[in-house]
Structure 1
Amino acid sequence: MTDTPPLHVAVGGEHPYSITIGPGQLADGHALARHVRGRHVLLVSDSEVAPLYLAGVRAALLQARPDLLIGEHVLPAGEASKTLAEFGRAIEALAALGATRDACVLALGGGVVGDLSGFAAACWMRGVDCVQLPTTLLAMVDSSVGGKTAVDIAAGKNLVGAFHPPRAVIADTQVLSTLPVRELRAGLAEVVKYGALGDPEFFDWLQRHAQGLSAGDSALLAEAIARSCAHKAAIVARDPLEKGERALLNLGHTFGHAIETEQGYAAPGRDALNHGEAVAVGMVLAARLSTALDRAPAADADRLVALLQSLQLPVAIPAGLAPQALLERMRLDKKNVAGRLRLVLWRGIGKAEVVADVHDEAVLAVLAAG
């Protein structure tokens, strides 16, 4: 444990919950157990995170609540595990536990674990509690907040899922010290997104502190997480089911998801962009397209590229991906209406907008330029 006080962000709306950010949170059994209403807990993690933290979380919970019946489900690490088959195994784990309507699923891991766990919680007995315990920066600032849960299928990412807000999000910043540098920087892409879509002052702050953030400065990371979560929480409270404003949170994601799907989901040891890296490239493509459509100044796109490069993130499409193939992947995006592309573009830094009926030719030109 640590004496550093945690930061708190409140998510409002119809299903309010709290986000707690700070070091030592996974060791605080009472902080974890206060969100468990019944006796059944399913701890879901992956093969990389579980050896580091699962036993500690289990012990902390039992110290605070000796009456708990705790099951465990560990899936292979990587996006390739975010499947209907793994979802089915998580459901079977809940069945084996005898989980009742007041059960709680604890999602201990990155975005894959959080998305799959949340979807299992949404479906078991038509919905049980889920507490998100994100262990990557990307999950802390994005996927753990907002209640979007899903798994992937061959046609694309996150096409099967449900909206299921968590009961709480608890982000232990101490775990970021064990995060590979590449994963830390990938999470910073989602942090940049919040400045790019709606907060030019935060974008400026990121520019000033890029070196410290990239190096893993704990105080800077905690502030970046809290500010990012506050941005997302405010948008989610106003638009919980992504009927309007919440779509802005997908800045860079339509391009990024197409890259991920077309290249084959990044797995350990594979030379492919991970999610955060793909989003970084996607934001650059969205900015370049905005410039090509005379919606935004080229200078703002250049500032975005410079910031991402200072965080050592990629800014160009990987070699070997055909523009037409990427465009076809983009057609499956959930924002599209009646087969017409709807993309999140911008008017410049801090001014994102959803643009309907974007012509294929303009998109292909940007994809071809890379």
Structure 2
Amino acid sequence: MILVVAFVLNDRYGGIDGDRTVKAAELLENGEFQEFYDGSNPVLQDAVGGVGGLKAIWGKYAYGIGDFVQVDRTDSSRSGTNTIAHAYCRHTDWGLLLTITFGYDGRYVGLFFEYYEPDGCDPLPDGLIETDVTVDAGTSHPLPGTLVSSVSSDREVAAVIVHGSGPNDRDGTIGANKPYRDLARGLAEKGIDVLTYDKRTKVYTQISQDPARSTVDDEVVDDASAAVRTLKEMGYGKVFVLGHSLGGMLAPYIAQQCGEMCDGFVSLAGSPRTITDILADQLWAQYRQLPDAEAYRAYIDEELAKAESLATMTDDERSSVTVFGLSGCYIWSLNSIDGISIAESLDIPMLFLQVTISEFIAL
């Protein structure tokens, strides 16, 4: 009797099989937006902004990943009366992961986009090998990493890629792009082996025992230094730091902390400015055109004043305040690093690289 009731309930609430998921995905992949739209409930129809809106959203996520090849696989799970289905859509250059939520009546009630890497889509270039490496700063936060090297590597020169802000993985994945992986493989083909690793904020929900007292050393510097040490222990003669964005901003400080282990650094899109000045400019660029822009200006000025006051606070006081939503301890740990003075004190090769917006567009 229980089995019969379960079967009836599943039928009542529109159990979704793989074929229906594939059909829904193929409607989008084949540009049949009107049919997909007609099969959606009013809430989803309103959310996408009509058939034209659905088409525009699709174009944004499907751009740059090549032509559609096939749906590699599907899976699904139940959430109340809804079925959450995943369609792994292989394209010639990458993979698009569609999450399609079906309501109890079989209509589409949710649509989400992600990317995935299909098997064999981005093969390792000939002559290169990848080796699993663990980066351990001597804390309870070991990090998985990858060493890309040539098969003929003599372990003469290596580099460590240090992430920008945010919970980045070892490849620096942004949508369908993996810039750190591309950079690592390109350098390895030129004879420079490269170690990349998942950032601590990517692997762990809590990066230190006391989050309110966490510093940029906990987030970035300790692990970057450990990665440099790892390469030295593997026998590399020269090891360089390649810091991107926040990593580029910290590159002189990381080199200083590494001492003789670091033989030079490259700062990619780093900055000599304080993090609070950068955040203030970024926020004002977003808000200055809004009708209530002056209210945001006042908020930004208040946060900058709080940042200035951190210099006279104790660690206990810094841990009890936030600046731009971040711990006062973290902000102070970053703002108190004078990258320019540190760079001037170092006697190692340094390369600072920047790309302006106009140059980027031209590329």
Q: Which is strand-richer, 1 or 2?
A: 2
Give the TM-score normalised by the residue count of structure 2: 0.27
Structure with the bigger percentage of helix: 1
Higher relative contact order (CA 8 A, sep 6+): 1
Q: Which of these two proteins has the greater Rg computed from alpha carbons?
A: 2
